[in-house]
């Protein structure tokens, strides 16, 4: 303004001077002639200068009023801001960097202050100053980032206009409230630009741009464009805040998870320790025998509940590790055959309390040695088996193990198929969710962790876990995991198995199909027979079989057929874990479920299965002459281990430290050493190393590590330190039995001789009845041997009658009559302790009630055979029992007339099924002295009465009456 005024004055002065000079020179024309040239030159120069300075002034003014049109394109500004934001990191410097961006924007649009306000979530009446910038020459220092003001204090009476979301400019002359005009005048604000920030149709803040010199002038379209860079800035700030909040939340969550994980780890350890004791001691109680039924029931409930709790604790610990990210996969070298056998053994334990069929198919060409986390694979497998068991009450579980080789990687595939209830379609989506249970069925045990954990484990091993299910038709789970191949030798070297020929006796179609498939995988020639006639024909053919394979329930029948044929072919009995194996020559026992691995080991010439007695694994290892050393610093653990070994007839020496163990090993030789690996002073691994350095026989004694640590790689760690095997705590009876069978000298293992069952009524009676739990039977009979003997006698006679009735009902297809008679067999068999027979009868009863003719046709003959064999075995046992109660001492001479009357009455009573009269009359007659023929006949009558054998009673009575009549006629003739 001053320069413009100076130019005007200068121009006026020069103009006046020139005009004055012109007037004074009119008198002299010579001078006048020179003046126009000079005047015109000066005038042009002054005019140019005025125009130049005026242009500069008006250009500056227009720069403030129309910056976008004259100086900067808004689109270019947006691009610059976006580029600057991309280079801005999400860190503690973000606000400083954004302030710098605001400064550059302010210079571009000639603003003096820019504020970014964020409305509070709890109340839009309050706003937070997130970031602001103001020029140095106009700084008022009234604002501080992070300060909170009321909206009315910043923009009085503006909320309604802000909510609409349209940008606008305010000046003192614009239409606005008096309070806002007063506030702008007080702050010397020339103009104020407001840019609302809307997110998801909700006002979340606004941009305030102030000028103190020149008012802003933007069209509505330009304001909309100007909003864009500020929205980008605000979005960046919101993302930064969100990241900060998430980081804080994550830190807090991690801290909480770590605290919870530590708590759970400590708690699970504290829970596992007493559970080990409870489970171990309850095992000892159950193993003592001869307990009152009430106490036995208590002990069984304690043992079962503690095991369920132990599994829950283990699931919680795994879940804790999974949630905290500590669930790791530990690859170690392992033998795949060992893994399969471990899986079968553990599955056998789980299946022992059910009556499900279990089949396992393994591809024999899979690599024998792998590198991976075998413990986690086993965990996944057993979780899937447990899940199938929960929802499968009858039928079968089938396992298939296959694999695909790609270079040095084997993708193992485990398929577990059951015939259970299946999964409803609407329930399938939550099958792998943590703590989700199907239908929330309270009758099914579980925590809802197992399947979700199994899927996570499979994924950690570069695999997957999927399923297919149809409600009512069972479920199939398919687990895949990748393992590295250690070497390419096959699981079963088929060329080492010489061509064998085997004969199979198996009437059940599913079992026979399974066996044929196993032998087919091994390249073994197998002939199947399903009836006694077919089996006998196979034996008579001019064909030498290497082995005969038969299920335990048919062994008695096969043995009889072999005796008739005179065959000496070795027999392999496929039996469950509780089978009373026969101690006979040429008889081997293999435990079911079978796999091709077990069969291959048996059929190979160097099979270790041939190095133990006649059967392996044994149902119950009994080694009373074995010497075993126990090393553990925990006295309770020593007590439990000693008690469990005592059940196998083994007396133990116990020490509480590695030093004591070394001292004792210098003095005495042991067959087996069990040692805790974690002990004070000298731990188990250090002790094992010292034992291996000894110069006596103990340097080669097998050492079994005892450990509560079931983590991956722990077995390999123990083996590397000189130990031979390991058992996890709590020690399972079946696992201990397998360890003893594997590592005790074969000569120390002998068949267990069952101790006689004692009673107050009958002394020195030895009950050994195949497939009959006599201890259970005695308890059902009120713990009275005499009562139990009476029950057995009744069972022999009644079961034979029921066999005929069952055969007749089956021939007539009268399923109602069949169900009634098989129900009687079921109840009677359970009462005497024939538990397996009772279960088979129960299945047939159910099938008869459902008129399932196919199931009855497949299993009825087998059940009748078992009834016949059981009755025969009971009769053999009873005939061997001689008691004082059965021996009647004659006290007076006999009277023939009395004898004739009594025998006639006995015959009539037998015809009318009056067994009590028969018994009393026969016992009365035996108190008299008779000749031997009469005494023998009376003995037969009384014995038949014990078995309710009315036909035999009548037959012997008639014979005796005939003999007495002949004797009487002979006497009359001689007279």
Q: How far is CA 352 from CA 289, 358, 930, in A?
A: 20, 11, 56
Q: Within this chain, do residues 839 and 916 fall inside the same structural domain, yes or no?
A: no
The answer, yes or no, to whether the previous bond of 616 is cis (omega within 30 of 0) is no
Q: What is the pLDDT averaged over residues 130-156? A: 80
Answer with the residue of higher pLDDT: 122 or 658: 658
Out of 101-115, 521-535, 572-586, 746-760, pick the least confident. Answer: 746-760
Of the three residues 322, 347, 374, the one that is the final residue of a domain is 322
Lowest mean pLDDT among 10-14, 356-360, 388-392, 826-830: 10-14
> What pLDDT is recorded for position 664?
92
Q: Is 649 part of a structural domain of the chain? A: yes
Among 25-34, 332-341, 436-445, 559-568, the range of highest mean pLDDT:
332-341
Rounded mean pLDDT, 629-644: 84
Q: Is residue 463 part of a domain?
A: yes
φ/ψ (deg, to 5) at 880:
-85, -10
Query: What pLDDT does residue 757 have?
Result: 44
State yes or no: pLDDT of 465 exceeds 90. yes
**Span 295-323, mean pLDDT?**
76
Same domain, 174 and 50: no
Residue 673 reports pLDDT greater than 80: yes
Residue 844's CATH number: 1.20.120.160
Least confidently predicted of 348-362, 474-488, 672-686: 348-362
Residue 498: predicted pLDDT:
67
Is residue 192 classed as helix, strand or coil in its secondary structure? Answer: strand
pLDDT at 199: 81
End position of a domain, from candidates 610, 642, 668: 610
pLDDT confidence tier of residue 453, bands split at 50, 70 and 90: confident
- Band of pLDDT at residue 54, cut at 50, 70 and 90: low
pLDDT digits (tens, 9 = 90+) for 251-272: 887 777 677 666 765 666 667 7
- Residue 60 pLDDT > 50, yes or no? no
Enumerate long-range contacts of 261-268, CB under 8 Å, 24 or more apart: 261/320, 261/321, 261/323, 261/324, 261/326, 264/316, 264/317, 264/320, 265/317, 265/320, 268/313, 268/314, 268/316, 268/317, 268/320
Q: Taking 60 as the threshold, does the pLDDT of residue 942 lie above it?
A: yes
Q: Is residue 147 predicted with pLDDT exceeding 60?
A: yes
Q: What is the pLDDT of residue 261?
A: 65
| Mean pLDDT taken over the chain | 79
Q: Does 371 score more than 90 pLDDT?
A: yes
Give 475's pLDDT tier (boundaries 50, 70, 90). very high
Residue 753 within any structural domain of the chain: no
On whether the CB atoms of residues 384 and 477 are closer than 8 A, the answer is yes
Q: How many domains does the chain have?
A: 8
| CA–CA separation, 241 and 236 (whole Å) | 9
* CATH number, residue 342: 3.30.565.10
**Domain containing residue 538:** 496-610
**Mean local confidence (pLDDT), 685-696:** 91
The answer to the question of residue 666 being in a domain is yes
Same-domain check for residues 633 and 735: yes
Query: Residue 369 — very low, low, confident or very high, per pLDDT cuts 50/70/90?
Result: very high
By CB atoms closer than 10 A (0-12, 13-18, 19+), residue 637 is: buried
Instruction: Please report, for the domain that includes residue 213, its CATH number.
Output: 3.30.450.40
Predicted confidence (pLDDT) at residue 209 exceeds the cutoff of 50: yes
Among residues 879, 903, 932, which one ends one of the domains? 879
Whether the per-residue pLDDT at 5 is higher than 60: the answer is: no
Of 844 and 761, more confident: 844
In this structure, the answer to whether residues 591 and 688 fall within a common structural domain is no
pLDDT over threshold 90, residue 814: yes
Closest by CA position to 321, among listed 712, 732, 716: 712
Higher pLDDT, 181 or 579: 181
Residue 613 predicted with pLDDT over 50 = no
Strand partners, 113: 134, 210
Q: Report the distance separating Cα 697 and Cα 131, nearest Å.
A: 84
Indicate whether 967 belongs to any domain: yes
Do 208 and 143 lie in one domain? The reply is yes
Q: Is residue 756 part of a domain?
A: no
Based on the domain organization, do 290 and 374 belong to the same domain? no
Q: Which residue has the higher pLDDT, 280 or 28?
A: 280
Confidence of residue 175 (pLDDT cuts 50, 70, 90): low
> Under a CB-based contact definition with an 8 Å cutoff, are residues 401 and 413 in contact?
yes
Per-residue model confidence (pLDDT) at position 618? 43
My answer on whether 166 and 214 are in the same domain is yes
Domain match, 866 and 895 both: no
The proportion of the chain whose per-residue pLDDT surpasses 90, expressed as a percent, equals: 16
Asked if 628 contacts 671 with a C-beta cutoff of 8 angstroms, the reply is: yes
pTM exceeds 0.75 for this model: no
Provide φ and ψ at 652, rounded to 5°: -120, 155
> Which residue would you say has higher pLDDT here, 89 or 209?
209
**Distances, alpha carbon 911 to alpha carbons 272, 294, 800, 876, in Å:** 67, 43, 19, 27
Is 80 exceeded by the pLDDT of residue 130?
A: yes
Contact 673, 629 (CB under 8 A): yes
382 and 396 part of one domain: yes
Query: In this predicted structure, what is the pLDDT of residue 704?
Result: 93
In a domain, residue 166? The reply is yes
Task: Report if residue 104 sits inside a domain.
Answer: yes
For a pLDDT cut of 70, what percent of the chain falls above it? Answer: 80
- Considering the domain architecture, whether residues 674 and 723 belong to the same structural domain is answered as yes
pLDDT of residue 703: 94
Residue 290: DSSP 8-state: -
Looking at the fold, whether 716 and 645 belong to one and the same domain comes out as yes
CATH number at residue 720: 3.40.50.2300
Question: Does pLDDT of 440 surpass 50?
Answer: no
Tell me, yes or no, whether 596 and 638 share the same domain. no
pLDDT, tens only, 61-72: 444 444 444 445
């Amino acid at each position: 303004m001053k320069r413009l005024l100076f130019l005007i004055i200068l121009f006026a002065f020069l103009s006046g001077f020139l005009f004055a000079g012109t007037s004074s020179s009119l008198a002299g024309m010579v001078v006048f002639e020179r003046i126009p040239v000079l005047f015109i030159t000066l005038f042009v120069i002054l005019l140019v200068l005025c125009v130049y300075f005026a242009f500069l002034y008006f250009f500056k003014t227009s720069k403030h009023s129309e910056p976008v049109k004259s100086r900067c394109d808004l689109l270019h500004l947006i691009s610059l801001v976006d580029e600057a934001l991309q280079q801005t990191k999400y860190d503690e410097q973000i606000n400083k960097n954004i302030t710098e961006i605001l400064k550059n924007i302010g210079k571009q649009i000639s603003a003096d202050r820019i504020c970014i306000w964020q409305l509070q979530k709890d109340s839009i009446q309050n706003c937070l100053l997130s970031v602001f910038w103001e020029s140095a020459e106009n700084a008022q220092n009234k604002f501080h980032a992070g300060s909170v003001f009321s909206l009315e204090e910043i923009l009085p009476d503006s909320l309604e206009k802000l909510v609409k979301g349209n940008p606008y400019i305010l000046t003192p002359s614009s239409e606005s409230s008096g309070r806002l005009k007063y506030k702008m005048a007080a702050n010397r604000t020339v103009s104020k630009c407001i840019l609302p920030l809307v997110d998801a149709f909700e006002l979340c803040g606004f941009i305030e741009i102030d000028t103190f010199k020149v008012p802003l002038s933007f069209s509505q379209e330009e304001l909309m464009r100007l909003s864009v860079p500020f929205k980008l800035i605000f979005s960046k700030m919101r993302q930064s805040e969100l990241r900060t909040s998430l980081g804080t939340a994550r830190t807090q969550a991690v801290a909480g998870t770590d605290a919870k994980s530590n708590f759970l780890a400590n708690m699970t350890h504290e829970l596992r320790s007493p559970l080990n004791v409870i489970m171990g001691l309850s095992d000892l109680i159950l193993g003592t025998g001869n307990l009152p039924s009430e106490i036995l029931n208590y002990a069984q409930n304690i043992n079962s509940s503690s095991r369920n709790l132990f599994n829950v604790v283990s699931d919680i610990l795994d879940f804790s590790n999974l949630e905290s990210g500590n669930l790791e996969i530990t690859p170690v070298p392992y033998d795949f055959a060992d893994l399969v056998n471990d899986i079968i053994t553990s599955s056998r334990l789980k299946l022992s309390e059910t009556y499900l069929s279990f089949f396992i198919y393994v591809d024999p060409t899979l690599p024998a040695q792998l590198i991976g986390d075998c413990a986690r694979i086993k965990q996944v497998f057993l979780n899937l088996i447990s899940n199938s068991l929960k929802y499968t009450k009858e039928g079968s579980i089938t396992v298939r193990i296959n694999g695909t080789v790609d270079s040095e990687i084997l993708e193992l595939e485990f398929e577990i198929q059951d015939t259970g209830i299946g999964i409803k379609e609407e329930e399938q989506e939550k099958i792998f969710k943590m703590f989700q249970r199907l239908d929330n069925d309270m009758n099914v045990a579980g925590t809802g962790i197992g399947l979700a954990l199994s899927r996570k484990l499979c994924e950690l091993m570069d695999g997957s876990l999927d399923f297919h299910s149809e409600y009512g038709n069972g479920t199939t789970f398919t687990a895949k995991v990748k393992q590295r191949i250690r070497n390419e030798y096959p699981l079963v070297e088929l060329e080492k198995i010489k061509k064998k020929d085997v004969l199979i006796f198996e009437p059940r179609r599913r079992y026979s199909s399974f066996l044929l498939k196993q032998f087919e995988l091994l390249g073994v020639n197998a002939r199947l027979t399903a009836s006694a006639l077919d089996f006998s024909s196979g034996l008579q053919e001019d064909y030498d079989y290497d082995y005969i394979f038969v299920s335990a329930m048919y062994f008695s029948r096969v043995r009889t057929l072999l005796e008739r044929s005179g065959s000496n072919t070795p027999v392999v009995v496929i039996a469950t874990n509780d089978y009373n194996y026969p101690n006979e020559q040429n008889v081997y026992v293999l435990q079911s479920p079978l796999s091709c691995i077990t069969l291959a080991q048996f059929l190979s010439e160097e099979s270790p299965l041939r190095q133990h007695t006649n059967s392996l694994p044994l149902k119950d290892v009994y080694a009373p002459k074995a010497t075993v050393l126990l090393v553990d610093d925990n006295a309770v653990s020593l007590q439990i281990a000693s008690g469990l070994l005592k059940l196998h007839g083994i007396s133990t020496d116990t020490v509480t430290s590695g030093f004591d163990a070394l001292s004792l090993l210098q003095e005495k030789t042991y067959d087996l050493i069990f040692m805790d690996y974690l002990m004070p002073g000298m731990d188990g691994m250090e002790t094992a190393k010292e034992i291996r350095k000894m110069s006596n026989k103990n340097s080669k004694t097998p050492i079994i590590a005892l450990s509560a640590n079931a983590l991956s790689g722990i077995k390999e760690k123990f083996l590397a330190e000189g130990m031979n095997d390991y058992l996890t705590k709590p020690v399972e009876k079946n696992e201990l039995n397998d360890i003893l069978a594997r590592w005790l000298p074969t000569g120390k293992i002998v068949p267990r001789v069952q101790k006689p069952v004692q009673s107050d009524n009958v002394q020195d009676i030895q009950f050994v009845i195949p497939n009959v739990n006599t201890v259970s039977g005695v308890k059902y009979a009120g713990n009275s041997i005499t009562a139990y003997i009476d029950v057995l006698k009744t069972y022999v006679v009644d079961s034979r009658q029921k066999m005929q009735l069952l055969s007749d009902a089956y021939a007539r297809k009268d399923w109602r009559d069949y169900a009634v008679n098989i129900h009687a067999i079921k109840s009677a068999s359970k009462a005497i302790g024939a538990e397996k027979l009772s279960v088979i009868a129960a299945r047939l009863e159910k099938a008869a009630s459902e008129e399932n003719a196919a199931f009855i046709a497949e299993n009825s003959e087998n059940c009748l055979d078992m009834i016949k064999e059981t009755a025969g075995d009971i009769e053999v046992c009873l005939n061997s029992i001689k008691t004082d109660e059965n021996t009647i001492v004659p006290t007076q001479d006999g009277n023939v007339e009395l004898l004739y009357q009594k025998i006639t009455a006995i015959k009539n009573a037998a015809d009318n099924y009056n067994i009590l009269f028969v018994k009393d009359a026969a016992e009365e007659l035996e108190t008299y002295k008779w000749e031997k023929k009469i005494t023998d006949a009376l003995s037969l009558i009384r014995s038949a009465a014990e078995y309710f054998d009315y036909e035999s009673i009548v037959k012997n009575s008639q014979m005796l009456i005939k003999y007495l009549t002949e004797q009487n006629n002979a006497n009359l003739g001689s007279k």
